[in-house]
Structure 1
Amino acid sequence: MSLHAVGVQVRGRSLYASTSTSLSSLGYICSNSSSTTATSTSPATPFLGLKIKFSSPATSKSPQPGSVNFSPLGMDGGWLSKLGFGSKNKATAASYGDPSTNPALGPDDDKPAAGQSFAQFGAGCFWGVELAYQRVPGVSKTEVGYSQGHVHNPTYSDVCEGDTMHSEVVRVQYDPNECTYESLLDVFWARHDPTTLNRQGGDVGTQYRSGIYYYTPEQEKAAKESMEKHQTKVNKKIVTEILPAKKFYRAESYHQQYLAKGGRFGFRQSTEKGCNDPIRCYG
C-alpha cells in the first residue's frame, strides 16, 4: 500500500499525503479492534478501516498533529458518512426526536432587538461568512453558531464529528429599514458555491452545507424566489436547503468575529460597512 496514495479527511478538512501532509504511520483496523502496520498484503482478519497518524501545517481549522480513523463506504463514522452516505445515513439523523422534548429540534426562540429582524445562513466555514455580513450596511450584529442539528448544546468538536447534523451558521441581526432581506440573500449567493453538497472548497462535512433558514413566511418566499433566480445563473443544480430557523447555539467565544480579531495569524480584516477587500477565511 502506498502512503502517497492516501487522502485523509480530518474534522471536515481534506489533507493529502502527497502534498503537505506528513504521514508517520499507517495501520489497518480489524474486527478484533487491534491495528497493525500496513503492508501490501491483505490483513489476516477482516478489514474495517485505516488508522493514520500524520502531521500537517496550519492550513485549516483542524487540530494539526494527531491521528484519525476512517472506514470505507458502508461503515458508520467513515469519511463518506460525513457526506451523508454509508450504512446509516446521517443526513436523516436530524429528523429523529421530539421537538417538544428536544430543544435542538425546536424553533429559534431568541428575540432580536426592537425594530430589528433576524436572518440565518449556512454557507461553509462561518468565519468568512460572518465577515461578509459584518460589512453590510444595516446589519447591526452578527453571531456564528450551530443549528439544524439534533443534539442540545453541541460543542465545536461535536459538530465537526458529523454526528450531530448541525450546520455552521451565521445569525444576522439587521434593520429592515436600512437593509432588505433580498440584499442579504445576494450576499449569501455571492459568498459560496451552492452547488457542492456538504462541501466548500477544502472544507468537507455536513456542517458546511448550504442553507437558508427563515424566520417568517415572507423570508421563506423571498428565499425560494431568490434560489430560482440564481439557478438560472449557474449550470449545476443548486443543493441549498431552505428550512425554518431552528434553535441557535452560539459558538465558542473564539469563533465570534474571528477574522475581524485577526484570525490564525493575527492579521485583522476590515469590518467597515461597504468594504470589499478580499476575505481570507483562514487569515
Structure 2
Amino acid sequence: MLRSLTLTTSSSSSSLVAKPFFSHSPKLPHSFSPPSLPFPQTRRSISLHTRPMNILKNLGFGANNKPSPSMEGSSIAQGPDDDVPAPGQQFAQFGAGCFWGVELAFQRVPGVTKTEVGYSQGFMHNPSYEDVCTGSTNHNEVVRVQYDPKECSFDTLLDVFWARHDPTTLNRQGNDVGTQYRSGIYFYTPEQEMAARESMEKQQKLLNRKIVSEILPAKKFYRAEEYHQQYLAKGGRFGFKQSAEKGCNDPIRCYG
C-alpha cells in the first residue's frame, strides 16, 4: 500500500532524508526497476492536429467523390417526393447552405405552417448525416417548407431563399464547403419551376457574378435526425434560443 511521503532531518546533517513510499523497503540492487502501476497504461500517441478538410473532394473533384452505382436503393432516392402535404397546403424545397439557419428563416415567414430539414437529390436510400458529410452521396442539405398558398406565395419563399445565402458560390456557403451546401430550388409543380426560373433571371440582373443555383424537380426527402430539426429555435450549439415568431427579423446566428 502506498503511503504519504514524509521528510525528516538527520542529526548529523541538515539534508533532508525521504522515507520510502512502500511499507517494506529492503535494500534494492542497482538494476531494480520500479513496479508497474496498478492501472493499465496506453502508449497511443495523442495528436492535437486535426486533419484539414479535403476542399477539392468536397467541391466535386476526384473519382472517389462519385457515388457508387451499387448504392442500395438509388432508384428510390432519385424518385419523386411521395409525401403529401396537409390539405390545402403545398410543399417547396430549398438548399442554401447549412440547413439550420435556412430553416429558421422560413419558420418566420407568415403562411408557412411547417418546416423540416433533411437530405435530398442524392443516390443513397435513407442516408445519415454522417453519410451526407462524406460528400459521396450527392445529397444536399435542404429545408422542406409546407405553406398555405392563400397566405404565402411561392414568390415570397423565393425572396427569402435569395436573401438568405450567396447563390454565386459553387458548393459552399462561407466556411461550409461541400456539395451538401450547394444552392438549389427543387420544385413540385410546373408553376413553381416557372416562378423559380423567372426569379433567378431577375436576381441575376442584380448581381455581378453568375448564379450557380440548380433548379430541379423535388426528389425523395429524407428527414434529418431529430436533433437537427428546429435546431436554432431550440437553442443551437450554445443554448441560446432564437425566435421563430412570424415576422421576426432578428439577425440569425448560423450555429446558435
User: Shorter-chain TM-score: which interval?
Assistant: 0.7 to 0.9
Residue 170 of structure 2 corresponds to which residue in structure 1?
A: 197
* Paired amino acid for 2:112: V
**Larger Cα-atom Rg:** 2
Residue 233 of structure 1 corresponds to which residue in structure 2?
A: 206
Pick one of 93, 106, 120 that aligns with 1:147. Answer: 120
1:150/1:278 CA distance change after superposition, 3 Å: same
SS in 1 for 2:102: helix
Runs of at least 5 residues in structure 2 that lack an aligned partner in the other structure = 1-45
Runs of at least 5 residues in structure 1 that lack an aligned partner in the other structure = 1-51, 56-66, 71-77
Residue 60 of structure 2 corresponds to which residue in structure 1?
A: 84
Select the structure with the greater relative contact order (CA < 8 A; seq sep ≥ 6): 2
Query: In 1, Cα distance between the equivalents of 2:240 and 2:75?
Result: 40
Deviation of 1:88 after TM superposition, in Å, equals: 5.2
Query: In 1, Cα distance between the equivalents of 2:147 and 2:63?
Result: 42
Question: Which deviations, in whole Å up to 9, do the C-alpha atoms of 1:69-103 show, x marking residues without a partner?
Answer: 76xxxxxxx5312101124563xx49x58999721
Query: In 1, Cα distance between the equivalents of 2:72 and 2:196?
Result: 24
Matched, 1:208 2:181: yes
SS in 2 for 1:259: helix
Structural mapping, 1:49-88, within 5 Å:
53-54=47-48, 67-68=50-51, 78-87=54-63
Query: In 2, Cα distance between the equivalents of 1:98 and 1:182?
Result: 36
* Paired amino acid for 1:83: L
- TM-score (norm: length of structure 1): 0.71
Number of residue pairs the alignment of both structures matches? 211
Pick one of 71, 91, 114 that aligns with 1:118. Answer: 91
Residue 273 of structure 1 corresponds to which residue in structure 2?
A: 246
Residue 33 of structure 2 corresponds to which residue in structure 1?
A: none
SS in 2 for 1:141: strand
1:247/1:97 CA distance change after superposition, 3 Å: farther
Deviation of 1:68 after TM superposition, in Å, equals: 3.6
- TM-score (norm: length of structure 2): 0.78
1:277/1:211 CA distance change after superposition, 3 Å: same
State the identity as a percent: 74
* Paired amino acid for 1:210: S
Deviation of 1:173 after TM superposition, in Å, equals: 0.1
Of Structure 1 and Structure 2, the greater strand share is in 1
